[in-house]
Structure 1
């Protein structure tokens, strides 16, 4: 199951909010060698604001082992501010129906079958979140491999917008993923999960179509 964290609700989840910063430090800085702000073993940036929502998967010890960060495009967001070369030709979206989806990561030390399950649940949880918030599309900034392989394996086919090559040689792309009830059902059928996976405070499960 995936927990939905915000600044307003994080106190209901113990140390989960801090744990997602620690996970990001381990995953993006230590493993991926990103040059991003960090403090005391935690990775963060200027977009970790009260507007941010975090979808996290935790192990039995409460450590975050997979996550994604969601940002409304009605507030400052990463693509617009830091990656203008990756903005779609139509320009920077600014709409309550379009959210940015970034910081997608799953711990590579998990067993392969568990990694696959966490990846699938994070994809489903993102779609459930969108349908419950009236979000019609996600703008992703992601390694090209995730857009070319991971999402299609789950039944999603992102519309790639722009590409850039990092100093490390990795290709990063922007892409739109459109969310509908039909798309959610197709992904559930593709990966074999028929139930809602996203939980939030005040509800055992956040229900989606």
Structure 2
């Protein structure tokens, strides 16, 4: 199993991996979860997949993707869009509620957003724990490499049960809300304990 952090600067070094990640996102979010998201060429994408973002792929040696994560700085801008949680709060996304945060969404170079987190249903049960560990490690390392001290994310509302087991320190920054297929909540993940 391998972890690769992709960016527009390095994706040419990784063959089909970037496309495979977007294909896996389609499988996870559109096929498995039945979310109404944009797709083309068998890939899921949105307006936040820009050169400002980083993508984490957990995959085998042949490029088969098991899991993935997208990281985007809260300072990102592309036309009228910034980052998903902030744009939802600003009413730019009809699919997400505007009251998902207790306070105004942060815009800070040390705070990054974590979205499009998934593990494919086809990922063998025998390696799932290892996949989760790789995901957390890569997410923390990648965010820290970009200068982040915090992450914000929309996560399943049962996050307190498993964040501690994953070694993450987090707090709720919004109410529990039913979105699409379940209860979700915005959280802030503290990376200061993970500083090198």
After superposition, where does 1:60-99 map in structure 2 within 5 Å? Answer: 60-75=61-76, 76-82=82-88, 83=96, 84-89=98-103, 91-99=104-112
Any gaps of 5 or more consecutive residues in structure 2?
77-81, 89-95
After superposition, where does 1:12-161 map in structure 2 within 5 Å? Answer: 12-75=13-76, 76-82=82-88, 83=96, 84-89=98-103, 91-145=104-158, 147-161=159-173
Q: Does 1:178 align with 2:190?
A: yes
Q: TM-score, normalised by structure 1?
A: 0.81
> Which of 174, 178, 181 is the equivalent residue of 1:165?
178
Any gaps of 5 or more consecutive residues in structure 1?
185-207
**Could you say which residue in structure 1 is the equivalent of 2:9?**
8
Displacement of 1:142: 1.4
Count of paired positions: 181
- Checking the alignment, whether the CA contact within 8 Å between 1:58 and 1:66 is kept in structure 2 is yes
Instruction: Evaluate the alpha carbon distance shift between residue 126 and residue 85 of structure 1 in structure 2; reply closer, same or farther with a 3 A threshold.
Output: same
Q: Could you say what the CA RMSD is over the residues aligned between the two structures, in angstroms?
A: 1.6
2:118 & 2:46 partners in 1: Cα distance? 16
2:147 & 2:7 partners in 1: Cα distance? 18
